[in-house]
A and B are shown apart, each in its own frame.
Chain A
């Protein structure tokens, strides 16, 4: 039983959801989370406190530092992706696409380097990414991934806003999220003209999506090899 649970713990901590993180919050708080998290919630219900490895992984910190490190992790992911896209463009890429995707690469690098500088000694290390599911030679694969990352980034910043404590950090997140939304609009239009704000992302009140850090890290997990320790990351 111990071994089984230990394995589970390791499995789930790759999503950034360490066992401890879940235990420290009330189970009810997670009851409204999406179906994708059901299994995680179940692990969180376990009351055994003594797993080796529960504090493993790159620790994001707590409070605003954790939120900024969370953003830093997402920007690292995006920057690494577009760096590879620009270095090995997909076949049939147009000149305009090359210009715009290179611009996006530079924006994501600027975001990444900004968070690293702003966090100073609290910044997490460089993360190892896993892009094995992406075919960088295929326009379809690259743009589909770009769309997923940009829409995820928008909903991540939108959802994190209410967890930020300092107004100046909220403003910084606001300065970045609209640029991610500009990217998302472009990428979606490259895939299908006119889908910049499709009803798969904008609801019938004209509202974009927002996601909690827990939801976002679960979605991003397959692309991040480095284990994240999100036990003190604010979420809901």
Chain B
């Protein structure tokens, strides 16, 4: 029995009632390496749910796909901008991140099938606000920082809208934490550059801690210290209460779809 079968007992029925397909699926599964399996799952997934995904889930996945298109195009352009990312370690890290974003695009397109939205056209200078984003390495990292933190907040805000489908919820959560790993690394890259980002941490401290006021909306509400009506700074820490800084760092906050689209629209021309 494969994992997906016991997660969704109806899966077999949906995928194809004919046993031959199930048999083919199992033998196929046995041949591919574990790391390749999720792609196989994704294509089965499309077959299984394709046209029958509830509109609410299609909307969330297309929203996520739009953000992934944006991130993938951003890193692709950055890596192709001569002289922008020169350090070999930095190139390797940005390539890892770019590859993940490409994979997210492919995965979501696959899950959505014919319902997938097309790739928009982008202006990563946001109408000139970040005019040197592909020639100034620090500016590039600052925008990357904002994109990754936006991605984390965007997926978080949509989890509740995916509860009707265990598989899709789990996949979305599995993308969400990868975006957070990216954000952690980009923030470390920025810190190592010193200057305005010299005290930046892998986690978000207070509201906008990036030193770039143009991205304030990305961090709106991140300074929240109340969780489930409990004030986190009322808890005992090691020496005294949990600090306000730690209270805001310990919980990442969601962004609504509207807030995310507003941020994304600054970079989307058509």
Contact = CB atoms under 8 A, between A and B. Distances in A.
Contact of B203 (A182, A205, A236): A182
A56 interface: no
A109 B171 CA distance: 28
Contacts of A178: 152, 156, 176-177, 179-180, 252
Contact of B175 (A159, A168, A199, A206): A206
Interface residues of A, number: 58
Nearest to B110: A205
B188 interface: yes
Contact of A110 (B1, B169, B235): B235
A162 B249 CA distance: 25
B246 A182 contact: no
Given A113-B236, A204-B103, A182 B181 contact: yes
B143 to A, nearest CB: 19
Nearest to B253: A175
Contacts of B177: 154, 157-158, 177-178, 180-181, 208
Chain B contact patch, size range: 35 or more
Interface in B108-145: none
A29 B6 contact: yes
Interface stretch (B12-20, B48-56, B77-85, B158-166): B158-166
A186 B202 contact: yes
Nearest to A117: B230
Given A176-B251, A179-B250, 13 more contacts: A100-B202, A107-B203, A107-B249, A162-B7, A170-B160, A177-B176, A180-B177, A183-B203, A185-B188, A197-B181, A205-B42, A206-B104, A236-B7
